């Protein structure tokens, strides 16, 4: 004897098929993740010179210990257009997989943080507010830390997906 509310066997299989299809759609196939990782690593390779130049600018700013206001402001004025271009370029890039998108979000955020840091430093000098200068210095450190974090995540992703470093050429 069957209970009146039990579902027919065909309905149960349809439900199970839907669940399996849904779970498959939620996970990224390894080949897709590898392809997206390779594309992103190539893009990052093309962005590396801007990162290096920006890191050198921050070193020059920090070397002044914020005593030479004119030099700090000159460095920021020279760097800001480059940082703005880098942020715009990064915002235009759209990774295809969730894992690479998460890494990219940190990368994009780091460039926004740096622009905010530059703004805080400039405002600090204009107003004489040491708190703003400190916030700017902290923002520059957060940019550096985020760039290092992204590099570690990408190295781990490269190793996990089996991307050959010789295949990574700037795009």
Entry pTM? 0.82
CA–CA–CA angle 110, 126, 118 (5° rounding): 10
pLDDT at 5: 53
Collapsing DSSP states into helix, strand and coil, what is residue 46? helix
Q: Classify 18 as helix, strand or coil.
A: helix
> What is the pLDDT, as a whole number, of residue 21?
44
Q: Where are the domains of the chain?
A: 30-167
Residue 40 burial (C-beta neighbours within 10 Å; 0-12, 13-18, 19+): buried
**Dihedral in degrees, nearest 10, Cα atoms 134, 110, 142, 119:** -10
Question: What is the chain's pLDDT, residue by residue, as a tens digit (171 residues)?
Answer: 555 455 555 555 555 444 444 444 455 678 999 999 999 999 999 999 999 999 999 999 999 999 999 999 999 999 999 999 999 999 999 999 999 999 999 999 999 999 999 999 999 999 999 999 999 999 999 999 999 999 999 999 999 999 988 888 776
């Amino acid at each position: 004897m069957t209970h009146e509310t039990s579902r027919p066997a065909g309905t149960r299989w349809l439900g199970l098929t839907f669940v399996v299809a849904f779970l498959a759609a939620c996970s990224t196939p390894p080949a897709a993740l590898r392809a997206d990782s390779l594309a992103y690593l190539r893009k990052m390779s093309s962005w590396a010179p801007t990162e290096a130049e920006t890191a050198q600018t921050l070193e020059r700013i920090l070397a002044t210990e914020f005593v030479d206001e004119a030099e700090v402001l000159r460095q920021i004025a020279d760097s800001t257009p480059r940082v703005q271009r880098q942020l715009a370029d990064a915002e235009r890039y759209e990774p295809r997989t969730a894992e690479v998108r998460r890494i990219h979000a940190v990368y994009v955020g780091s460039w926004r943080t740096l622009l905010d840091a530059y703004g805080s430093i400039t405002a600090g000098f204009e107003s004489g507010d040491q708190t703003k200068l400190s916030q700017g210095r902290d923002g520059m450190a957060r940019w550096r830390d985020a760039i290092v974090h992204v590099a570690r995540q990408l190295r781990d992703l490269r190793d996990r997906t089996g991307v050959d470093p010789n295949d990574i050429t700037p795009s």
